[in-house]
Amino acid sequence: MILRGLLLEHWCCIARLELADLPLGVLVLHAPNRTGKSSLVKALRSCLYDHDHDTTRQEVLQAIPWTGKHAPRVTVTFETGGQVYRITKVYSRKKDGGALLERRSGERWLEHLREPKEAARETRKLLGADKSDASLNQLLWLDQGQVHLPQVRKLDATLEKRLEEVLGTLVTGRDLEFKKALDKRCDRWFTPRRHDHRGGVNPSPVTRLEQKRAERQRDKEALEKQYRDLEQAINDLERCDIQQGEMRKHVREARDELTLLLKEREHSQARRQEHLQARRDEEAAQQETKNAQARWQQRIEARERYQAHETDLTRREAEVKTAQEKLERFEEVYQQQVAALGTARLAEETHARTWDDIEDRRKLLELTTRSDALQKTLQRITRLEQESKRLNEQMQSYPAPDKVELEKLRANRRQAQALRAQLQAAELVLGITPSQATRLRLSRDGQAAEEVDLSPGEKKTWPLRQRVSLEVAGLGRIDLARRQENTDLERCARQLADLDRVFAERIQAYQETPQEESCLDRLAERLFQQEAWLRELEQLRRQLGELAPQGTGAKQHERLQLERERRLILQRRPELASWPPSPGDCEQRVSAFQLRARELERQRKTWEAQENQAHKALQQAQRECQRCQENLTDCRATARAAQQELQRLGGEEALKGELLRAEAALKCARQRLAETELTEAEKSVEERCRSAETVLEQREDRLRRLEQQMAELRGRLHGSEGLHQKRNEAASALTEVEQALEQERLEAEAHKHLRELFENYRESQVHRVMGPISGRVLQWARHLGLSEYEQVCFSDGFLPDGLLRCDGTAETPLVPLSEESYGTEEQLGLLVRLALGGVLARTEPALAILDDPLAHADPAKHRRILEILKMAAEGNQSAEAPAGPLQILILTCHPDRFDHLTGARHINLAELIQREP
């Protein structure tokens, strides 16, 4: 449907408006605010769809002008299905109300339906919607400020059906119900993360069964291992059984061999005893011979040692004697050196005592010098103190205010001057010039009355603030006063009096006259003089402080102290009273003393060195003498010991005889040993017996160990009771779990497969149906400058869920329109509306009403979207989803923003609308 004409009469504020011959394409209806643009849209909605002529709905009642003389009348001419119709509604429940549907035939209008309700119903039927916000109007008729797209669920059923007819089926309700049920069933396996009631992770049944299978598998493997161990134990036992027989045989052999050897050993027992005895005898004789030889040898060595010790003793005695003589000589020399050193030390001490005299003289010299300097300082201090006293007296005799006070006095005068000027300006002046001599009694402003005598022609004036009372002899009393007392003047006068009083008191304190104008200048001069004196006084005080920081008394006390010290020295050394203190004399005496002291010290050190050397030589001689005596003592002891050993060893002849006897016995024993020598077999029988015993022990031990191992294996075999049953149960349990797992997996995979298939087909279905719309919106969006999107995504409805960014990730795949800015959302929404409206207008043009659109678009985007509006209005029959032309009605109060819309028809409603008076 497109709009061809409109006539409004008495609708809201509009007395009359007629729009005729409206073309296809873009129409811009512009007018200032409150002209009636929105009322026009309401009239259109009401007449075509929403209300009958006799409606009592508030929207229509409000449309009746307040003058109420005429019923609102709306006539809409529209074209649909190649026919032009005209519906006229007069909104009134009275006789004048009604509705008429007409159809144009050539140049004439033919009555189509006269009955009002039928006419309205037929109109709605012709337009294919029951309400003005239903069907395609839901998308294309936008009120002011309508930005958001409708929700998918709230898409009008008629519109959805029309879209299905044109685009194809998307997803049916059955599909959605199925998907919901399938998702619910899939939750059993594929919920992202499950949590049980204790907060732990609750795995899927497949995982649970896999875990259970792993447990069962472990159990089974453990039992199978036990079974393998059991079989191994059986094999081991068989092997051991064979080994046991062999080992027993070996043990028997070893035992037989040992028995034979024991018999052989018993047969050779007597001969081996005899041989052993001969060997022991020979060894004893050999030992005895060795002992005799040793004793003989010791006797010879002891005798030689004794002789050597005797010789050494004689030599040691001679050494002791020589050392004692040397010690005596050194003692004598040392005593001489000690005496000489004592003499030198005494001379040095005597000379040191002469230093006290020099010290006293130097002290006297220092005291005299310091006392003279102190006397000069005291004289200077006295002069400075006299000068300070003089300055203080001058300052006291010539007082002056300080800077602050002087400034206060100046401020006082400035304030008084201002007040005085204020008073003078506000004062009244009473002037009297008598023609004859007259006596007056005058009382002003509450002051005491004064009597004034005036000569004829003499003019006299008096200032007044509030009132005056004048008594003129012969005339009477004249009172003159302000009607209302001026309190400001009184307050000023009081302040001025206070200021004058304070000023006079302060000036008189400095013996100045307050009435003189120069009194303040003089006080300033005084202040300047006082400051100069003060600086001078400060300098004197500083000098005094430098000369006597602790006061003059301290300096005098110091001088007396010096004098006391001088007297003390003279009392101790009266001979110095006549000594005139001289620095040169002092220095001469010090020099002579130091020369003599150095000489005496050198001598003392020489004697000390010699004494030290003599002492060391004496100590050396003492040690040498002591060592010789100790050597002598040792030598004597050694000689005595050698003599005692010689006596203990006995005589040489006896020892010689003993040696000869031992050698003869040894010879006899060796001869006997040779006679009893054993054969090789007799020698080795013992060893062979031991070896056979060892072999037997080892074999018996091995046999024992084998038997232990067999016992252990038997024990393990006995412990295997029931293992078969356990294996059976474990395998059975595993099989049971595996079967359940297989079934559960099949179920899970089947559900998953079903869901994936559903998703894939749903997506392809949506893509197939909505692909052209998506492509058109995307193309327009790019034209608009929104190039960051690569796809407009639809799910289960004909309205988009959002847009997919070019840089979109799996985590943020989709950007809902509502997340865009207000302006962009409005623009994208408009593109979607135009795209869908275009495809529905494929067979018949559609009307779009945009009331004050694109209020939030920036100028650049606004310009581009106008181009899109133009494209949408023109339609595109050759596109994948052919789009028909649109009639786009734009209502705006900013006509300039649509100037760039080439080809659009601009209608100034302000010129056409006749307003109600």
Partner 1 sequence: MISFFHAADLHLGLRVTRFSGDCADKIRGARFRALDNLIKLAQERQAQFLLIAGDLFDDLSVDGITAERAFHILDAAPLPVYVLPGNHDPLLPGGVWDRKPWNTPSPRQVRLLREAEPVMIGRHVSLFPCPVLRKTSLQDPTAWIGQAPVQGADFRIGIAHGSLKIHEDLPPDDHLISRTAARDLKLDYLALGHWHRRQIFRDADGVARTAYSGVHEPMRFGGSQGFQTGWHPYSSGTTRNEFLDAGVGEILWVRIDHPGAPPEITSEEVGHLTWCEEERALVSEDDLSQLIAEVAVKRQLPERQLLRLKLTGVLDAGAMLRLDELRQVLKERYLLGLLDTSGLHVQPREEEIRAVAGQGVLRHVLEHLLKESGDPKTEGSKVAERALVLLYQIAKEVSS
Q: Please identify, using beta-carbon distances, which residue of 109 and 227 lies nearer to partner 1.
A: 227
Contact string (CB under 8 A) for partner 1, positions 115-154, x = contact: ----------------------------------------
The helix or strand, by DSSP H or E, that contains position 110, with its residue range, turns out to be: strand 108-113
Q: Give CA 180 to chain center in angstroms.
A: 48
- The 3-class SS string of 392-426 reads HHHHHHCCCCCHHHHHHHHHHHHHHHHHHHHHHHH
The helix or strand, by DSSP H or E, that contains position 168, with its residue range, turns out to be: none
Of positions 455, 582, 735, 812, contacts partner 1 by CB under 8 A: 735
Of positions 395, 717, 910, 912, contacts partner 1 by CB under 8 A: 717
Query: By CB under 8 A, is residue 222 in contact with partner 1?
Result: no
Contact string (CB under 8 A) for partner 1, positions 185-214, x = contact: x-----------------------------
Instruction: Tell me how far, at minimum, the Cβ of 724 lies from partner 1, in Å.
Output: 4
Q: Please identify, using beta-carbon distances, which residue of 322 and 764 lies nearer to partner 1.
A: 764
Residue 87's Cβ-count burial label (10 Å; 0-12, 13-18, 19+) is buried
Of positions 93, 117, 623, 724, contacts partner 1 by CB under 8 A: 724
Q: Candidates 125-133, 494-502, 745-753, 876-884 — which segment interacts with partner 1 by CB under 8 A?
A: 745-753
Query: By CB under 8 A, is residue 480 in contact with partner 1?
Result: no
Q: Please identify, using beta-carbon distances, which residue of 569 and 733 lies nearer to partner 1.
A: 733
Phi/psi of residue 223, nearest 5 degrees? -70, -40
Of positions 62, 619, 698, 725, contacts partner 1 by CB under 8 A: 725
C-alpha closest to that of 895 among 30, 1, 26:
30
Of positions 400, 713, 786, 841, contacts partner 1 by CB under 8 A: 713
Residue 101 pairs in a beta bridge with: 87, 113
Instruction: Tell me how far, at minimum, the Cβ of 172 lies from partner 1, in Å.
Output: 3
Q: Please identify, using beta-carbon distances, which residue of 181 and 577 lies nearer to partner 1.
A: 181
Distance, CA of 553 to CA of 496 (rounded, Å): 57
Tokens of 876: 């595109």
Q: Please identify, using beta-carbon distances, which residue of 796 and 826 lies nearer to partner 1.
A: 796
Of positions 659, 731, 855, 893, contacts partner 1 by CB under 8 A: 731
C-alpha angle 757-758-762 in degrees, rounded to nearest 5: 115
Q: Please identify, using beta-carbon distances, which residue of 417 and 732 lies nearer to partner 1.
A: 732
Q: Backbone dihedral region of 191: left (phi > 0), alpha (psi from -120 to 50 degrees) or beta?
A: beta
Whether the CB-CB separation of 384 and 612 falls below 8 Å is answered with no
- Three-state SS for 114? coil
Tokens of 166: 């044109």
Q: Candidates 96-104, 490-498, 505-513, 746-754 — which segment interacts with partner 1 by CB under 8 A?
A: 746-754
Whether the CB-CB separation of 125 and 134 falls below 8 Å is answered with no
Instruction: Tell me how far, at minimum, the Cβ of 785 lies from partner 1, in Å.
Output: 36
Instruction: Tell me how far, at minimum, the Cβ of 228 lies from partner 1, in Å.
Output: 12
Distance, CA of 360 to CA of 490 (rounded, Å): 93
Distance, CA of 319 to CA of 631 (rounded, Å): 9
Q: Please identify, using beta-carbon distances, which residue of 542 and 714 lies nearer to partner 1.
A: 714
The helix or strand, by DSSP H or E, that contains position 464, with its residue range, turns out to be: strand 460-464
* Helix intervals (H) in 157-204: 157-167, 173-190
Q: Please identify, using beta-carbon distances, which residue of 698 and 725 lies nearer to partner 1.
A: 725
Among positions 235-254, residues that touch partner 1 (CB under 8 A) are: 237-238
- Three-state SS for 98? strand
Phi/psi of residue 656, nearest 5 degrees? -65, -45
Q: Please identify, using beta-carbon distances, which residue of 103 and 185 lies nearer to partner 1.
A: 185
- The 3-class SS string of 342-385 reads HHHHHHHHHHHHCHHHHHHHHHHHHHHHHHHHHHHHHHHHHHHH
Distance, CA of 737 to CA of 479 (rounded, Å): 133
Q: Please identify, using beta-carbon distances, which residue of 224 and 675 lies nearer to partner 1.
A: 224
Q: Please identify, using beta-carbon distances, which residue of 391 and 731 lies nearer to partner 1.
A: 731
Instruction: Tell me how far, at minimum, the Cβ of 769 lies from partner 1, in Å.
Output: 11
Q: Candidates 199-207, 289-297, 636-644, 708-716 — which segment interacts with partner 1 by CB under 8 A?
A: 708-716
The helix or strand, by DSSP H or E, that contains position 86, with its residue range, turns out to be: strand 83-90
Q: Please identify, using beta-carbon distances, which residue of 54 and 229 lies nearer to partner 1.
A: 229
Of positions 54, 427, 471, 747, contacts partner 1 by CB under 8 A: 747
Distance, CA of 693 to CA of 687 (rounded, Å): 10
- Three-state SS for 193? coil
Among positions 168-187, residues that touch partner 1 (CB under 8 A) are: 169, 171-172, 174-175, 177-178, 181-182, 185
Instruction: Tell me how far, at minimum, the Cβ of 238 lies from partner 1, in Å.
Output: 7
Dihedral sign (CA 702, 707, 710, 711): negative
Q: Please identify, using beta-carbon distances, which residue of 340 and 717 lies nearer to partner 1.
A: 717
Tokens of 198: 């204790």
Instruction: Tell me how far, at minimum, the Cβ of 852 lies from partner 1, in Å.
Output: 41
Of positions 81, 145, 715, 903, contacts partner 1 by CB under 8 A: 715
C-alpha closest to that of 635 among 298, 305, 321:
305
Instruction: Tell me how far, at minimum, the Cβ of 46 lies from partner 1, in Å.
Output: 39
Instruction: Tell me how far, at minimum, the Cβ of 842 lies from partner 1, in Å.
Output: 23
Instruction: Tell me how far, at minimum, the Cβ of 193 lies from partner 1, in Å.
Output: 24
Contact string (CB under 8 A) for partner 1, positions 748-767, x = contact: -xxx-xx--xx--xx-xx--
Of positions 718, 896, 902, 917, contacts partner 1 by CB under 8 A: 718
Number of residues that bind partner 1 (CB under 8 A): 51
Counted residue by residue, the chain has a size of: 917
Whether the CB-CB separation of 132 and 120 falls below 8 Å is answered with no
Largest CA distance in the chain: 209
Q: Candidates 129-137, 201-209, 348-356, 733-741 — which segment interacts with partner 1 by CB under 8 A?
A: 733-741
Q: Please identify, using beta-carbon distances, which residue of 226 and 622 lies nearer to partner 1.
A: 226
Q: Please identify, using beta-carbon distances, which residue of 507 and 734 lies nearer to partner 1.
A: 734
Instruction: Tell me how far, at minimum, the Cβ of 706 lies from partner 1, in Å.
Output: 14
Query: By CB under 8 A, is residue 723 in contact with partner 1?
Result: yes
Whether the CB-CB separation of 10 and 72 falls below 8 Å is answered with yes
Give one DSSP letter per residue of 610-673, joined into a string: HHHHHHHHHHHHHHHHHHHHHHHHHHHHHHHHHHHHHHHH--HHHHHHHHHHHHHHHHHHHHHH
Distance, CA of 910 to CA of 905 (rounded, Å): 15
Of positions 683, 746, 787, 812, contacts partner 1 by CB under 8 A: 746
Among positions 484-543, residues that touch partner 1 (CB under 8 A) are: none
The helix or strand, by DSSP H or E, that contains position 300, with its residue range, turns out to be: helix 269-353
Of positions 720, 779, 876, 908, contacts partner 1 by CB under 8 A: 720
Instruction: Tell me how far, at minimum, the Cβ of 840 lies from partner 1, in Å.
Output: 22
Q: Backbone dihedral region of 549: left (phi > 0), alpha (psi from -120 to 50 degrees) or beta?
A: alpha
Q: In 672-736, which ranges are E strands?
A: none
Close Cβ partners of 206 (under 8 Å, ≥ 6 residues apart): 189, 741, 744, 745, 748
Contact string (CB under 8 A) for partner 1, positions 400-429, x = contact: ------------------------------
Q: Please identify, using beta-carbon distances, which residue of 383 and 767 lies nearer to partner 1.
A: 767
Question: Which residues here bind partner 1, judged by CB under 8 A?
Answer: 169, 171-172, 174-175, 177-178, 181-182, 185, 227, 230, 233-234, 237-238, 713-725, 727-729, 731-736, 746-747, 749-751, 753-754, 757-758, 761-762, 764-765
